Amino acid sequence: MAEDKGPLEASEFIKDRLYFATLRVKPKSSLSTHYFCTDDELVYENFYADFGPLNLAMMYTYCCKLNKKLKSFSLSKKRIVHYTGYDQHKRSNAAVLIGAYSIIYLKKTPEEAYRALLSGSGVAWFVPFRDASVGSSTYGLTVLHCLQGIHFDVHEYEHYERVENGDFNWIVPGKLLAFSGPHPKSKIENGYPLHSPEAYFPYFRKHNVTTVVRLNKKIYDGKRFTDGGFEHYDLFFEDGSTPSDLITRRFLHVCETAAGAVAVHCKAGLGRTGTLIGCYLMKHYRFTAAEAIAWIRICRPGSIIGPQQNFLEEQQASLWSQGDIHRSRLKQHPQLAERGMSRLVSGVRGLSLSPALRQSRSVDRADQHDYGYDSPFLTQGDKLRSLKGSRQTRSSPIGSFRMEDVKMHTRSQSFNSQKGRVGGEQGSTAAPRGLRTLPTSASLRIISPPSGSNLRSPLSNRAAVLR
């Protein structure tokens, strides 16, 4: 790049190929370098003082654009530089774009991507994103937070989806987990691995699962979960059927007031489990029924079956309305969101769900001590579990689902609130003192990320509570 003039520090993402830079003036592409900018192409539509991050469609567009450039024959021998200007808002958005690309396509971790951005950006700072309001910012959402939110551990997903490793999937990361129903004892029965409640304890504890909801008849003693320190609720309805309004409301109450994440199971963890989780998605995220079904099936194939699909369609309008009312009440009385399970009276037949009672709560129509399958015959859940178990190659014994095999969940952590202002000048778009003036565009002086860097997420030592 000898034809370029002046020094410039740039972040290197692919050696001698892909870089990110902040420039004073618009550069001209040369024989060895191709410059491009998305600051005026991918633009955030703000509500008030908010300025990003850019939405999923823009991120997709950016990835397609960059992939096309990297595969272009005419650019095959050129360094490709994504540059941004001095506007601190656009600079943060641009950083998220190339950071996301490096996570999705270059297999970097969020911390590696963020380290690359800092090492060559000329400054160790990106202005944090803020909420869509006009007041002072009280919560700083950093570029690193955004990159952590994008990161997805495919190996973890594939590991725990397998029957022999627990057969569970996160539907709402950090909030709702769907899993196959536990059995009284861990064993292999007719070639199918079965897991006891205790087999799930290590993973649940590491990932802040505080509550377990059972939707099928009793096969194991719920006291085993409560003795392990978990809340346990029984909300039984027939295999393959749809929940009553009472069951639906009680399930939503449990999820809304749980101290941490909620693990939900029926027999196979597909039909009844997916149906009630779909109700939560519609109420709290305004998913349409079709969107909820699609997302849950993408996360956990086979979920929501037969009349359960039509049930969700019928419930959509009502759940949207309930969600609007719920959010309105939280705005008027924000303290309700922080009460957790200190005291909950559902208002439905006076049901009390006080956590002070460390016992399994039951609204199961079956006898309290009736442990057994839903039916003496094979049910829908039995058949689904059997099919899933038979189609997966069981390369490891039942003992594989143990404490030493519990992988740490690597998704980003989030919090309900932050008191005070994070990182100082969050609401300001001006650079902090000491921000070095960046030179005009010219030749690249590449700064590679330090190999021995000990960069850690600012959230690494704090517990996640995702609601």
**Catalytic residue numbers, as ranges:** 266
359 token code pair: 């016992």
Q: Would you say 198 and 211 are in contact if contact means Cβ atoms under 8 Å apart?
A: no
**Interatomic CA distance for residues 81 and 444, integer angstroms:** 9
Rounded to whole angstroms, the maximal C-alpha distance in the chain is 83
Sorted by sequence, the CB contacts under 8 Å of residue 221 that are 6+ apart come out as: 184, 360, 371
For residue 377, the tally of other CB atoms under 10 A from its CB is 7
User: What pairs with residue 20 in β-bridges?
Assistant: 11, 82
**Interatomic CA distance for residues 212 and 261, integer angstroms:** 9
Sorted by sequence, the CB contacts under 8 Å of residue 23 that are 6+ apart come out as: 8, 83, 84, 85, 438, 440, 441
**Interatomic CA distance for residues 84 and 420, integer angstroms:** 30
Sorted by sequence, the CB contacts under 8 Å of residue 112 that are 6+ apart come out as: 102, 449
**Interatomic CA distance for residues 324 and 267, integer angstroms:** 32
Q: Would you say 167 and 388 are in contact if contact means Cβ atoms under 8 Å apart?
A: yes
**Interatomic CA distance for residues 414 and 465, integer angstroms:** 6
End-to-end C-alpha distance for the chain, whole angstroms: 50
Collapse the DSSP code of 460 into the 3-class scheme (helix H, G, I; strand E, B; otherwise coil) and give the result.
coil
DSSP conformation letters of 245-295: HHHHHHHHHHHHH-SSEEEEESSSSSHHHHHHHHHHHHHHH---HHHHHHH
| Amino acid identity at 371 | Y
For 289-311, give one letter per residue: b (16+ CB within 10 A) or e: beebbebbeebbeebbbeebbeb
For 72-109, give one letter per residue: b (16+ CB within 10 A) or e: eeebeebbbbbbbbeebbbbbbbbbbbbbbbbeeeebb
| Amino acid identity at 161 | E
At CA 202, angle to CA 196 and CA 205, rounded to 5?
115
**Interatomic CA distance for residues 171 and 169, integer angstroms:** 6
Backbone angles phi, psi at 358, to 5 degrees: -80, 75
